[in-house]
Amino acid sequence: MGNVASLLESNSLARAAAVAFGVQWALFPVAAYFQTEKFFDLAGGGTFALLSLLSLRWGGQYYQRQKVQTGLVCTWALRLALFLLHRVLKTGRDTRFKHVRKDPKMFLMYWTIQGLWVFVTILPTLLLNEEKRNPDLGERDYAGWGIWALGLLVQVIADYQKSAFRNNPANQDKFIQSGLWSLSRHPNYLGEILLHTGLFISASSVFRGYQHLSAVSPLFVFLLLTRVSGIPILERQAMKRWGQNEAYLAYRRNTAVLIPYIW
């Protein structure tokens, strides 16, 4: 135990990992007991915000670059968490957990993966906030912040358009194919990938050596959304629901999965 305590005290990344996984594992028993996923996304977003603020405090420098980065992470994380919380409270369920919430082992795996998602995704910010050097703000900082802003804008617009579509009774049992959804079948995920790419680019303006390995952050988000959760699950659900609908099949043929006109 002494060695673990020493590691956590001396290594900010170890402390961050402990927080990322610890929060999820602490909340899992409550979720498992009530067989509910209603605060799952709130826990993930809240952990992002908590870790970004803790890492800023642990670093103790409070440079402008670090404060901006921390603010961007908190803005995205809390916006998304509250949006998803509102959605699940309104619908009463999250289809991702249909066959999971009653299986404790699988449910625990979901919470553990969320801890991994938080830790890996926030790596650029963790490394930035512990950095002692503070070079002048440059083109890479502004480019990264601009890409983050574009990604957040795409995500917010996509979420708003889909929510408005679902709230219209005339659209019951229909699929959305208007607005950003006419260009991409998953524009909200495109926005998320863009904004995490932007956060890495801006943070990398001070990186040296091994710190550049935190490029795994946007890559991990891309692979998670396109190969594990997110797109694969939603595509299967859509085919099950509208697979016999010629209009939907035409929409699939003519609309990019993620990146408009490309893929």
Confidence of residue 2 (pLDDT cuts 50, 70, 90): low
The confidence score (pLDDT) of residue 94 equals 85
pTM: 0.93
R_g over Cα of the chain = 20
pLDDT tens-digit profile of 3-47?
A: 665 556 669 999 999 999 999 999 999 999 999 999 999 999 999
User: What's the full length of the chain, in residues?
Assistant: 263
> How many Cα atoms occupy the beta-carbon half-sphere of 107 within 13 Å?
22
What's the mean per-residue pLDDT of the chain? Answer: 95
Give the span between the Cα atoms of 97 and 35, in whole angstroms. Answer: 10
The confidence score (pLDDT) of residue 93 equals 83
Do 49 and 72 contact (CB within 8 A), yes or no? no
pLDDT tens-digit profile of 187-218?
A: 999 999 999 999 999 999 999 999 999 999 99
In the predicted structure, residue 92 carries a pLDDT above the cut 90: no
The confidence score (pLDDT) of residue 229 equals 85
Residue by residue, DSSP assigns 72-132 as HHHHHHHHHHHHHHHHHHHHS--GGGTTTTT-HHHHHHHHHHHHHHHHHHTHHHHHHHT--
> Which tokens go with 143?
């480019």
Mean pLDDT of the 111-134 span: 97
Mean pLDDT of the 175-184 span: 98
Closest C-alpha among 163, 34, 186, 171 to residue 88: 163
The confidence score (pLDDT) of residue 5 equals 58
